[in-house]
Structure 1
Amino acid sequence: MAHRIRPAECVACGACQFVCPAGCISEVEGGIRLINEEVCVDCALCVRACPEDCIDKV
């Protein structure tokens, strides 16, 4: 399993990227973050860190 960020709701704060132990979250256009689902270890730390609650399990 992995997680996915809903870009329309992301406010580009970077909280998810800061806590990710796998380093699978990168910044894309406009500061929005993207999760590499192949590298995600499903720890859900990003979900807990996100102030906008815009990260879902896939």
Structure 2
Amino acid sequence: MRKGAPTFRKRRGKMARRLASVDRRRCVSCGACENTCPRNAIRVWKGLFARVEGSLCIGCTLCARVCPAVCIDMRERSVE
């Protein structure tokens, strides 16, 4: 984990209710979300757009707050 990155406690094995979702058409591949995510759950894919790894996302909203293109929304996680 990067120095100064916020830490989050696990919810006793439960997944967060929210999950980051990227609008690929609006993403400008700047990497701000990738650099901010404390769990490395979001990555810029082949320099085209950001992708979220749902199993790593903790729903903290940091990526959505730093996105200059405002292309990341927090959505309810689907129950599987």
TM-score normalised by L of structure 2: 0.67
Which residue in 2 is equivalent to 1:29?
46
Q: Structure 2 stretches of 5 or more lacking a match?
A: 1-17, 76-80
Moved over 6 A (4+): none
Which segment is superposed worse, 28-37 or 43-52?
28-37
Structure with greater contact order relative to length (CA < 8 Å, sep ≥ 6): 1
Q: Are the counterparts in 2 of residues 4 and 37 from structure 1 also a CA contact under 8 Å?
A: no
TM-fit CA distance, 1:31:
3.3
Give 1:41-56 correspondences, 5 Å limit.
41-56=58-73
TM-score relative to the length of structure 1: 0.89
Other-structure match for 2:26:
9
Measure the CA separation in 1 of the matches of 2:41 and 2:19.
Answer: 10
CA deviations on 1:7-32 (whole Å, 9 max, x unpaired) are: 00000000000000011112213331
User: Aligned Cα RMSD in Å?
Assistant: 1.1
Q: In the aligned structure 2, how far is the partner of 1:50 from the partner of 1:38?
A: 21
